[in-house]
Amino acid sequence: MRSWRTYTVLCLIVLLFCVPRARAETSGLPAIDARAYILMNADTGAILAAKNAYLPYAIASITKLMTLYLLFKDIDKGHLALNQHFVPCQTALRTGGSTMFLHPGLSFSVAQMILGMTVPSGNDAAVEAAHLVAGSVPAFVADMNRTARQIGMLSTTYYNPDGLPHPNNMASPYDIAVLTRAIMTQFPQFMPFFGHAKFTYAGITSPNPNLLVGRVPFITGMKSGYTDAAGHCLVATGTQGGVNLIAVILGVPSFHKENRGFWKASWQSLKLLDWGFARTLWLPATPHLERISVP
């Protein structure tokens, strides 16, 4: 009897230390090639999938979602109107990087300025919005950071309204999802601005780097971003069967081929959203089947 027990204990020790340990994974979750991501149900705030979701990263032009949020608030309060026209300020005209092609003396409407941010991700449009809402960029950035804290974005710091590179302009995927959800729930009347595949101003037509817009029927937006530090980033929103999902993808690695990188970021977002809708709408909750052992 004693020898049998000794043999059994030895077998258990071999199994414990010599055989690779099994780990539990969620069945069907696709591999997402990104530094960090999160998938959130916009209706409930529930997190469906996440990787490094609570760590801050460089976010490039995803910054403009806060600029748009504050602009929407100003319009909603009656301080600005979509059909109001302005001529660009000198600070906006001097802003580099991506552009909506503001020209000296050429007027634009507030609606065009919004499209200038949501489609070609115009840095000039973001700086112009900052001046119209707060009077100056520093005052607007202070409001960006104050608002971030108020709505629960605790891992976010803003240093400009456009997302041009700054070492401390950062946010976590979770914070970005919180902001996106705030836009979707508080200002649904402005969501159509995020659904344009292209935008024309000053005779120049610019495409939307979010390649899902206009191609995938359930996609409703929302914002792209790219710098060398941030990689390719995308916030993609979609609606199916009355369910609204938010996918935030940060740091898709394709730093030297910008167009290829946006294709890849769009593909990663689509995979995440497809999985989320399948899990939410069509597949019954069966935890005992979803958890599988893999080597």
Residues forming the active site: 61, 64, 121
Rounded to whole angstroms, the Cα distance separating 131 from 191 reads 23
Token couple for 47: 């997190």
Rounded to whole angstroms, the Cα distance separating 31 from 253 reads 14
Q: In 3D, which of 18, 7, 40, 271 has the Cα closest to residue 172? A: 40
Rounded to whole angstroms, the Cα distance separating 197 from 22 reads 45
Phi, psi of 154 (to 5 degrees): -90, -10
Q: Residue 206 contacts by C-beta under 8 Å, 6 or more apart in sequence? A: 100, 101, 119, 120, 198, 199, 200
